[in-house]
Structure 1
Amino acid sequence: MSKIKKRKEKLSIYLAKTGAEHDISKVIHLEKSIKPIEMDVSGIGATLYVKKESLKPPPPWVKLFTEHQELPENLFGNRQTVGAAFVAQLKSRLFIFTFGTGFHLVKNEAIERDFGLRVTLNSVDPDKLRSLDKASYDHNPLNSRTQSSIDLGIFDLDVDSEMDMLYAVTGASKVPIFGSQVTGRDALTLFLETNLNELKNILLEALDRYESDLPKEFEWFENIQRIKDTDIQAVLDLELDDAFSRKNFKNIWLGEPEITDWESQIGYSFDLYSKTPRHVVLQIKDLVEYFNTNNIPLESDKFKSQIIHINDNEYNSTKKWSAYRCLYAEVSVGKEQYILRNGQWYSVNIDFVQRIDKYLEELDTYAFEFPTYSHDKEEDYNDFVAKTQNNIELMDKKLTQIGSPYDKIEFCDLIRNSSEFIHIKYYRSSATLSHLFSQGSVASEAFISDSSFRKRLNEKLPNSTKLACTDTRPDPSSYRIVYAIATNRTIPQELPFFSKVTLKNAIKVLKTLNYNVSISAIKVNPELEVKKKCKPKK
């Protein structure tokens, strides 16, 4: 007689926060559940919560058919959407298994975020991964998923350990009790043959791996983590409010949360009334002044409701963000370091912060003093520098095709002494600096590695810098890449942290190619920082 194959079950396991075991209403939406059923399960306290469901009538379009003729009963449905949450208590912790639509019964704020991901990282073979979800914080946070039909190592799935955050991982399990494959996000997801009496050992193993240190292959996972816990977010907003109340703006910036076409605008405003100033640049002190003038409390909630407008030449709003999304702040709570960027709080490992700062300490300062930045537009400043300084050629706006016919890049803004490629950016936000650092490394790499790019670029280079033969690879050690940032802050020390990370990675690429690399701060005329415009009266 053939052996009956045991059914495999999909288990989605969440871990409740400590303390929830004393009040189940903190974890489960009891109002959405029918009367709970106590379950007799070996080794654990267990309760089953089944989601309330009401029979839903078929959609109205069904009558088109049922009124025409008699049809089989329930042809179009009328079935309930079943869901349940199975709560297990073990070692003073609550675990929640969800089935069907049972996840609607679980209160998101009550669960340990990344529980499943951490268990998975401690349970999966790092060389046998199939899928991962990640988010970058380079320009704007971008979410993406990388999948493979074969087992791959973590870095074969295109992960940058300093620029990406992991959200979910799927791979081959090294833990027999978890089955052959394990997936982790907030929930730990397993697919295996089991029964309720075997859950105790599964949960004990999961809890042990959750509380263990990560293996060295995944230690970088803890460099930066997005804060999803609403309670922690609220505490960090209070820390921000405290800094506002003390007028401590040293580690608070205001800037665009994304790359914008600054050439097509005249400035920013905090409302659209005709007498409201349009600020040439975004600065926290201007927003604070607006709040004070309008008797608006300096509180995080008010920043979330306050709108910042981009104004075009006709003083119309072409784009807008919440002021909270434009805030960049760095907050320390005890030994923990937190960063607010693009409306999202992040936790940053202090060791990671120190490694980045130490790396940037060795960065050369460019031995040239740029003229003071006093211009509304970067292109005007670049033109001014080229016309007033010796041995400097203008390259701004001279786009060169790279890759496809539709992809073009600005090789640099200025060339000094025929061999120093200077990239200039007025500091507005971490997003604009990320764009600057990325452009510098991409253009410089193409200059060395792509003869077709060199040929097209050579047509636009000044005579003093033209290459004798574009087919011959230039010697990068003969050139210097310069990042020049218009700001009155001390750089790189006072750059926002994420900008430091992108700068560090750009420098690493350039030095690997054997370029010389320097950084320079361009002094900004204080009058430019306070320059305002108002809509003219008609």
Structure 2
Amino acid sequence: MARTKLTAYLVKNEYRNHNYSQLVRNQNYHSYPIKGNLNIEGQIILGFEQEKPPDWLSFLELGTDEDIPNMSNKSTRAVIFIKYLEHLLIFAHGQGRHMIKENVYEKDFGLKVVLNSIHPDNLRSIDSVNIDISSIQTRSQSNRDTEIRNLNFDVVSDLLRSVTGTPEYNHFGKVISGRDSFHFTYEFNNGFRDFNEICQILVEKYNSEDYMGSFSWVDNLQKVEDKETIDELDGLLVEQINNNVEEISIGIPEIVDYTSNHSYSYTEKGEKYEDLNIQDYYERVETFSSVSIKQIKSHYIYSHDNENDGYVDKWNVYSCLIFETFLEDTIYILTVGEWFKVDRDYANQVRNYIQGVDDYELELPACRVNESEPGYNNRISSGNSLPNMINMDRKNLSFNNSQIELCDLLTDSNELIHVKKWYGSSTLSHLFSQGRVSGELLLREESFRQEAINKINEIDTNYAHIIPLTNYLSSNMTIVFAIIDKDERELHERLPFFSILNMMQTVEYLKGLGYKVKKTKILQEIE
């Protein structure tokens, strides 16, 4: 018999004893029992074929007076339920996946089966999403077997969404792929009886921990897609908001141009604030006796400039919240409108790494009440600071049609200090990106160094020697990340997990370029 393409799902334990009809969506279908002499417990469910004209047919008819023959698309769908020991598996055919209720199957089933079935050097394709501050989804593929580092995957900041590779055994064909479901081919020499062997292999591969040898990092961060879990986590979020808990943070969920976003409001024409603050949002929701998740998702943050009466942009509040919580002893984080599950050991590893980053030896002056970030940089650079420094804040360098900041403060001790007030993950993402881009361009691009020298000369010629045009040595430079915050806790304890994860990745990268990297906390004075 020719090989047959199959898509397999593993039903969650809590649903495996349900009636099969309870696991499929409400639609017209026929059910057929599996032959009793096959010694297989299960059922075949066939969805009704639907024929309808394609959506674009009416559009084509607008372009001609001639009659176009009747055309129709046919949708076929079927699923097979197979019980194997204490497990229940579903095999979908055609559009059968649309028949299965989304919350009834394991979300990582296909991914685990593939990772436990391939050699780490036999990858063909991966889908990933970067979880820094905006979810950027990418697909990397190769025309031959390769290892994951050749597919531009970052094990620190990228989530593995699906994987395709060449299996070490040929039961399931030459190429297999998986995410929630597992895609493979199989030659049924014994007809339906072969499902016993298929189910045995799938269950063994899913339960195996072989992947821990080469792919252990896949368990560090996982996007939560189970609706029931998300509902529970959203419930914890709502509880915290209704209690006005300060552990929730708020920030714009994307990199914005702060030169054109001068103020923010929590209603379209409401009171404007210079900065985002969770307490200001709490004042907005205090008009309600209690707030629901539906309201949070329907509330918006509006940004304003100084030239227009209306707003220039807006963001859903839910996508702006940063919140860490525990559910059944597991860390979950809400950021950019998505929930993520974090392995506890991995979270401790990241926080310990940030704690171990060298502290800047000098204590920078506190930021005054209502003092802006540019105002702070201007004040301390013109005062009696040690070491001596000049203000480079917003003194952009032109490079390849982009405007890039060298740093915020440049000292006569070869230190590039990047300063940012902490309002949330988005502002810190901008801070770390600024340090990373500047450090890399200084090392690799002589034309960028020339732009830096020219800009420094415009400010103070006594500092021009700090950036040599030729023979630039990154080992002679120190990059300092300075974060302004009113909270007195250390950075590794204070910052959200994704912020310290971003920081760890940036520090590692800059150290790899030869730089010394340090951190410091600038206290924000409060009234």
| Superposition TM-score, scaled by structure 2 size | 0.90
Q: 1:62·1:76 contact (CA, 8 Å) conserved in 2? A: no
Q: Matched residue of 2:112: which SS?
A: helix
State which of 193, 209, 218 in structure 2 corresponds to 1:197.
193
- Checking the alignment, whether the CA contact within 8 Å between 1:256 and 1:431 is kept in structure 2 is yes
- 2:411 counterpart (391, 407, 416): 416
Match of residue 473 from structure 1: 471
Q: Does 1:309 align with 2:302?
A: yes
How many pairs were matched up?
A: 511
- Equivalent residue for 1:128, pick from 97, 101, 122: 122
1:98 partner amino acid: A
Instruction: State the secondary structure of the residue aligned to 2:12.
Output: coil
Deviation at 1:416, TM superposition (A): 1.6
After superposition, what is the alpha-carbon deviation per residue over 1:183-230, rounded to whole angstroms, capped at 9, x for unaligned? 001110002322422122111111111112233211000000000000
**Secondary structure of the residue that 1:295 maps to in structure 2?**
coil
**What pairs up with 1:358-507 in 2 under 5 angstroms?**
358-366=352-360, 367-374=362-369, 377-390=372-385, 391-402=388-399, 405-461=400-456, 462-467=460-465, 470=468, 472-489=470-487, 490-492=489-491, 493-507=493-507
Q: Is the 8 A contact 2:366 2:525 kept in 1?
A: no
Distance 2:466 2:262 in 1: 43
Aligned amino acid, residue 230 of structure 1: K
Cα offsets for 1:399-442 (capped at 9, x unmatched) = 3344xx22342111111224111111111221221121122122
Q: Percent identity among equivalent residues?
A: 30
Query: Equivalent residue for 1:35?
Result: 30
Are the aligned partners of 1:46 and 1:86 in contact in 2 as well (CA < 8 Å)? yes
- Which digits, 9 at most, give the CA deviation of each residue in 1:316-360, with x for residues without a partner? 122112211111000012421110101111000001111111111
- Give the 3-state SS of the residue equivalent to 1:10 in structure 2: strand
- Counterpart Cα distance in 2 of 1:64 and 1:373: 67
Q: Supply the AA of the counterpart residue of 2:239.
A: D
Q: Report the counterpart of residue 530 of structure 1 in structure 2.
A: none
Name 2:202's counterpart in structure 1. 206
| Aligned residue in 2 for 1:262 | 258
Task: Check the 8 A contact 2:10/2:106 in 1, yes or no.
Answer: yes
What secondary structure, in the 3-state scheme, does the structure 1 residue paired with 2:48 have? coil
Post-superposition CA distance 1:35-76 (Å, at most 9, x none):
20112273422311111234325744787999958x9xxx64
Is structure 2 residue 163 aligned with structure 1 residue 157? no
Cα distance in 2 for residues equivalent to 1:454 and 1:65: 59
The alignment's C-alpha RMSD in Å is 2.4
In structure 2, relative to structure 1, the CA distance for the partners of 1:48 and 1:476 (3 Å cut) is same
1:219 aligns to what? 216
Distance 2:521 2:106 in 1: 43
Aligned to 2:511: 511
SS in 2 for 1:514: coil
Report the Cα offset of residue 15 of structure 1.
Answer: 1.2
* AA partner of residue 165 (structure 1): L
Q: Is the 8 A contact 1:488 1:521 kept in 2?
A: no
1:426/1:469 CA distance change after superposition, 3 Å? closer
Equivalents in 1 of 2:454, 2:53: separation in Å? 71
Distance, in Å, in 2 between the alignment partners of 1:157 and 1:470 is: 36
Q: Is the 8 A contact 1:133 1:146 kept in 2?
A: yes
- Measured against aligned partners, the alpha-carbon deviations of 1:444-487 in whole angstroms (never above 9, x if no partner) come to 12222333322332222343333489453333333221111121
1:520 maps to 520
Label 1:42 to 1:468 Cα distance change in 2 as closer, same or farther (>3 A): same
Cα distance in 2 between the residues matched to 1:65 and 1:494: 63
Distance 1:186 1:204, change over 3 A: same
Q: For the Cα contact (< 8 Å) 1:487–1:524, is it kept in 2?
A: yes
Q: Measure, in 1, the Cα distance between the counterparts of 2:374 and 2:264.
A: 19
Structure 1 residues 214-252: Cα deviation after superposition (integer angstroms, max 9, x where no partner): 332110000000000000001111222333344433x31
1:165-184 aligned at under 5 Å gives the runs: 165-184=159-178
Instruction: Find the residue that maps to 1:278 and give its secondary structure.
Output: coil
Task: Spell out, residue by residue over 1:236-269, the C-alpha distance to the aligned partner (whole angstroms, 9 max, x if none).
Answer: 11222333344433x3111111122222234222
2:44 aligned residue = 48
- Residues 311, 451 of structure 1: alpha-carbon distance in 2 compared, 3 angstrom cutoff: closer
Secondary structure in structure 1 of the residue aligned to 2:462: coil
- Cα 1:467–1:449 change in 2 (3 A) is farther
Q: Given the superposition, is the C-alpha separation of residues 526 and 61 from structure 1 closer, same or farther in structure 2, using an over 3 Å criterion? A: closer
Pick closer, same or farther for the CA change 1:42–1:176 going to 2, 3 Å.
farther
* CA distance 1:60–1:266, shift in 2 (3 Å): closer
Task: Write the distance in 1 (CA, Å) between the matches of 2:413 and 2:73.
Answer: 75
Partner of 2:103: 109
User: What is the rounded CA distance, in whole Å, between the counterparts of 2:21 and 2:365 in structure 1?
Assistant: 63
What is the rounded CA distance, in whole Å, between the counterparts of 1:203 and 1:399 in structure 2?
61
For the 8 Å contact 1:419–1:465, the answer to whether it is kept is: no
Quick check: 2:304–2:312 contact (8 Å CA) kept in 1?
A: yes
More moved, 452-461 vs 375-384: 375-384
Paired residue for 1:119? 113
State yes or no: 1:291 paired with 2:285.
Answer: yes
| TM-aligned CA deviation for residue 501 of structure 1 | 0.7
Rounded Cα–Cα distance in structure 2 between residues aligned with 1:244 and 1:61? 49
Residue 136 of structure 2 is matched in structure 1 by 142
Select the residue among 224, 236, 240 that pairs with 1:239.
236
Looking at structure 2, the residues matched to 56 and 143 of structure 1 have their Cα atoms a distance apart, in angstroms, of 33
Report if aligned partners of 1:373, 1:486 keep a CA contact under 8 Å in 2.
no
Counterpart amino acid of residue 495 in structure 1 = L
Structure 1 residue runs without a partner (length 5+): 1-5, 528-538
Aligned partner letter, 1:159: F
Does the Cα contact within 8 Å between 2:367 and 2:376 map onto a contact in 1? no
AA partner of residue 363 (structure 2): F
Q: Distance in 2 between matches of 1:65 and 1:372?
A: 67
Distance 1:435 1:44, change over 3 A: farther
Range with greater deviation from structure 2 (311-320 or 109-118): 311-320
Query: What secondary structure, in the 3-state scheme, does the structure 2 residue paired with 1:19 have?
Result: helix
Shift in alpha-carbon separation, 1:52–1:289, aligned structure 2, 3 A? same
Partner of 1:24: 20
Query: How many Å apart are 1:124 and its aligned residue?
Result: 1.4
* Superposition deviation, residue 11 in structure 1: 0.5
Cα distance per residue 1:364-387 (max 9 Å; x no partner): 222132342455643333223322
Distance 2:392 2:58 in 1: 65
Q: Is the 8 A contact 2:30 2:47 kept in 1?
A: no
> Which structure 2 residue ranges, 5 or more long, are not aligned?
none
1:331 corresponds to 2:331: no
TM-score scaled to structure 1, two decimals? 0.89
Q: Contact conserved, 1:449 with 1:473, CA < 8 A, in 2? A: no
